[in-house]
Amino acid sequence: QKEVEQNSGPLSVPEGAIASLNCTYSDRGSQSFFWYRQYSGKSPELIMFIYSNGDKEDGRFTAQLNKASQYVSLLIRDSQPSDSATYLCAVTFYDKVIFGPGTSLSVIP
Amino acid sequence: SQTIHQWPATLVQPVGSPLSLECTVEGTSNPNLYWYRQAAGRGLQLLFYSVGIGQISSEVPQNLSASRPQDRQFILSSKKLLLSDSGFYLCACGGTFGSGTQLSVL
């Protein structure tokens, strides 16, 4: 059974701080890794994807992948109240895309 | 990039009634298509995925079925809905999600 784990939160950070979201996965054969943001009642929207070990930066977002530790994280710099949402980690294995349960983030003004 | 059309946005159905949710994709060919369900306050559960016409893989044995009659059409069905089928149903393709259907079974 392929599993993706995330801390459910809620994670609270003050405005302007760095939010750190973590995800672990069980299958060493997993190939691609995605971070989604989901606002309540809405469908998830893709923030970033990463395929290779190391860091990938896009604006205020940085994804970090460590395949040896089966760990992927998302850092949000200069957090804004509009970043308050649930963040979903997704992992692919061949044709399947499996999601973690999500971490709820609250950015306090 | 692709566009995913999913309807209806909300649906209220009695227990025991049938269900048909349709998803169509534009802007791509031979896509991998996915159906997910999200219960209130929970993560996304993969229900079915398809890598081509007529090819359906089921992830969770349950009261639902899926079909792919055309390359860019993916249909989720049930013959008789259960209360536990309530949830937010999402179609996905290439990392993009449709707008979802909120299904309430009463």
- Cα separation, B32 vs A73, in Å, equals 26
The dihedral built from the CA positions of residue A8, A11, A16 and A18, taken in this order, carries a sign that is: negative
Find residues 10-69 of chain B whose CB sits inside 8 Å of chain A: 32, 34, 36, 42-46, 49, 51, 57, 59
Determine the pLDDT at residue A94.
82
Closest CA in chain A for residue B45: A99
Instruction: Note whether A34 contacts B: Cβ–Cβ < 8 A.
Output: yes
Q: Give the CB-side neighbour count of residue A33, counting CA atoms within 13 A.
A: 30
Question: What is the mean pLDDT, run by run of 10 residues, along chain A of 109 residues?
Answer: 84 97 91 94 94 95 96 97 96 89 95
Give CA–CA dist A96/A81, Å, rounded: 33
Average pLDDT, stretch B65-81?
96
User: Residues B88, B26: contact at Cβ < 8 Å?
Assistant: no
What's the mean pLDDT when you consider all of chain B? Answer: 93
Is B95 at the interface with chain A, CB within 8 A?
yes
> Residue B55: pLDDT above 90?
yes
